[in-house]
Amino acid sequence: MKISIFGTGYVGLVSGACLAEIGHDVVCMDVDPVKIANLNVGVLPIWEPGLDVLVDRNFKDGRLRFSNDAAQAVAHGDVQFIAVGTPPDEDGSADLQYVLAVAQTIAMHMTNYKVVVNKSTVPVGTADKVSAAIGAVLAQRTGDVPAFDVVSNPEFLKEGAAVNDFLHPDRIVIGSASERAKALMADVYEPFMRNHDRTIHMDVRSAELTKYAANAMLATKISFMNEVANLAERLGADIEQVRKGIGSDPRIGYHFIYPGCGYGGSCFPKDVQALGRTASQIGYDTPLLDAVEAVNKRQKTTLFTKLANHFGGPTNLQGKTIAVWGLSFKPKTDDMREAPSRTLMEALWEAGAKVQAFDPVAMTETARIYPDHPLLTLSVDKYAALAGADALVICTEWQQFRAPDFDEMELRMPSKLIVDGRNLYQPAKMQAAGWNYLSVGRAAVTV
Ligand SMILES: NC(=O)c1ccc[n+]([C@@H]2O[C@H](COP(=O)([O-])OP(=O)(O)OC[C@H]3O[C@@H](n4cnc5c(N)ncnc54)[C@H](O)[C@@H]3O)[C@@H](O)[C@H]2O)c1
């Protein structure tokens, strides 16, 4: 089946590679000429486990092509996926300019029936806007104009496991009232569901809202646990014991109830915000969503606050050297959008502290975001980052940070102070080994 995808970011590139892997004939189109030129010589714009192999194989086999040529992309696909960014506008609502630009491009070049698929995360009502944008361009064309349908097909992949999520989806949500469009969408996804059909059909608006509801629910779980963790810390309880205690209830479950230093990434922060703005545009208050966002903002400052308190106030951080392990917003990705590490590092620089940072894959991205920052050193490995540091702060729970060589750490960092935003270690063991150890939702250990 011939498929075109607009946008070759985390969603577009993973979707394109996986659709090609299953046998479809895919053209990925992006307006960024550098991205396309790089992809055409095998250089990927993002780091995602398993993606390079898939892109390489399908590119060489000719099922996956990369292009800047919008007309060619529109001509190619029976199904046209829109997978461009929907960043927050000034008021926090989703900025639809890129989505609508693609809609207009498709309308300008289409000569036969197309299914236009919103895969970007877009507010309720966007399919209508995309339809209107296509209709407006078609209305200016002379002669017969082709028919089209707009479908909502939100994407649920997780960065760090995106390829696996796409190849083995737990659900495919299709929002459409058109039988013709639904039949084509079935052709797209059937090969991924040989075991059993996991398609959930619904109306367009419900599909659009489903994506926001899913992300808002996940963000709510995180903020809830962070709030309880902060309470536990102040009440002399241990959040890790509480976590197990509540997770054992199948109505709650163990998934996604880890306390930490706040959620980041390109989705939860902007989607919670955008859902709140959608509500306020129709005059409806969303106090729960507002609280989820506020709790998260506060949580992202918690590591800095713990560090500052330990040293007797933020002014005492002036001239200190702080090692930071983990820069991406979560493990197995190089995505630093809204990462808690950024909140921490920026607060440390503001206080006059130096940062020695290490991340297994996000170093290039860090250098791109903070080029030549005078208070930032990017270290070659996790131990090098500790050299002479006054403290280590852990922001991301990469596997390689879970069982480090504490003797090696002590040699590099005689200060023996760890602020752990991911609760990777046991406080009692840390105390026995003579470490000062501050984690989230558990009593601080100081020696
Ligand atoms: N990143 C995720 O984990 C994830 C998961 C599910 C859904 N989403 C949603 O998917 C959408 C895309 O997210 P992303 O993280 O892949 O974004 P991204 O920023 O990584 O990529 C977007 C790409 O679109 C390109 N683009 C912009 N305008 C274009 C145009 N007119 N024609 C062609 N290409 C154009 C950009 O150059 C960029 O390469 C967003 O709405 C996001 O909320 C993201």
Residue range 242-293, pLDDT digits in tens: 999 999 999 999 999 999 999 999 999 999 999 999 999 999 999 999 999 9
CATH number of the domain residue 221 falls in? 1.10.1040.10
Closest CA to 73 of 43, 22, 30: 30
- The arithmetic mean of pLDDT across residues 374-379, rounded, is 98
| Closest C-alpha residue for ligand 1 atom 4 | 11
Mean pLDDT of the chain: 97
- Residue 3 DSSP symbol: E
15 & 154 share domain = yes
Cβ atoms 215, 268 nearer than 8 A: yes
52 & 169 share domain = yes
- 332 touches ligand 1 (CB under 6 Å): no
| Closest C-alpha residue for ligand 1 atom 20 | 9
Which of 175, 201, 227 is the last residue in one of the domains? Answer: 201
- 397 touches ligand 1 (CB under 6 Å): no
312 & 412 share domain = yes
Q: Which atom of ligand 1 is nearest to the CA of 159?
A: 3
- Give pLDDT tens digits for 47-63: 999 999 999 999 999 99
Tell me, in angstroms, the distance from the centre of ligand 1 to residue 48's CA.
Answer: 15
In a domain, 57, yes or no: yes
- 218 touches ligand 1 (CB under 6 Å): no
| Closest C-alpha residue for ligand 1 atom 11 | 120
Report, as residue numbers or ranges, the catalytic residues.
267
- 299 touches ligand 1 (CB under 6 Å): no
| Count of all residues that appear for the chain in the document | 447
Alpha carbon distance 308, 305 (integer Å):
5
231 & 256 share domain = yes
- Supply the pLDDT for residue 139: 96
Query: Best of 30, 34, 126 to mutate for ligand 1, by most ligand atoms within 8 A of CB?
Result: 30
Query: Best of 10, 15, 329 to mutate for ligand 1, by most ligand atoms within 8 A of CB?
Result: 10
Contacts of 74 (CB under 8 A, 6+ apart): 4, 80, 105, 106, 108, 109, 110, 114
User: Quick one: CA dihedral 203, 10, 129, 280, positive or negative?
Assistant: positive
Tell me, in angstroms, the distance from the centre of ligand 1 to residue 12's CA.
Answer: 7
CATH number of the domain residue 351 falls in? 3.40.50.720
Q: Which atom of ligand 1 is nearest to the CA of 122?
A: 41
In a domain, 446, yes or no: no
Q: Which atom of ligand 1 is nearest to the CA of 12?
A: 16
Contacts of 424 (CB under 8 A, 6+ apart): 394, 397, 401, 402
E-strand spans in 142-198? 148-152, 172-175
370 & 406 share domain = yes
Closest CA to 422 of 346, 330, 356: 330
361 & 291 share domain = no
Alpha carbon distance 447, 444 (integer Å):
10
- The arithmetic mean of pLDDT across residues 94-105, rounded, is 98
41 & 128 share domain = yes
Question: Residue 315: enclosing H or E segment and its boundaries?
Answer: none
Closest CA to 150 of 136, 166, 164, 129: 129
Count of Cβ atoms closer than 10 Å to residue 414 Cβ = 12
- Supply the pLDDT for residue 206: 98
| Closest C-alpha residue for ligand 1 atom 35 | 7
Tell me, in angstroms, the distance from the centre of ligand 1 to residue 102's CA.
Answer: 12
In a domain, 207, yes or no: no
In a domain, 66, yes or no: yes
172 & 305 share domain = no
- Supply the pLDDT for residue 143: 87
In a domain, 443, yes or no: no
- The arithmetic mean of pLDDT across residues 292-302, rounded, is 98
In a domain, 447, yes or no: no
Strands 354-358 and 376-378: parallel
- Checking if the pLDDT of 156 tops 90, the result is yes
Which of 245, 262, 297 is the last residue in one of the domains? Answer: 297
239 & 188 share domain = no
137 & 150 share domain = yes
Helix (H/G/I), strand (E/B), else coil: 446: coil
Query: Best of 11, 105, 158 to mutate for ligand 1, by most ligand atoms within 8 A of CB?
Result: 11
In a domain, 319, yes or no: yes
- Supply the pLDDT for residue 174: 98
- The arithmetic mean of pLDDT across residues 79-99, rounded, is 96
- One-letter amino acid of 32: D
- 9 touches ligand 1 (CB under 6 Å): yes
Alpha carbon distance 259, 252 (integer Å):
15
- Considering its fold, how many domains does the chain have in total? 3
- 100 touches ligand 1 (CB under 6 Å): no
- Supply the pLDDT for residue 65: 98
341 & 390 share domain = yes
Which of 249, 275, 297 is the last residue in one of the domains? Answer: 297
258 & 293 share domain = yes
Contacts of 59 (CB under 8 A, 6+ apart): 39, 42, 65, 66
| Closest C-alpha residue for ligand 1 atom 21 | 9
**Percent of the chain at pLDDT exceeding 70:** 100
- Supply the pLDDT for residue 369: 98
In a domain, 249, yes or no: yes
- Supply the pLDDT for residue 116: 98
- Give pLDDT tens digits for 393-415: 999 999 999 999 999 999 999 99
Domain span at residue 351 reads 300-438
- Give pLDDT tens digits for 308-345: 999 999 999 999 999 999 999 999 999 999 999 999 99
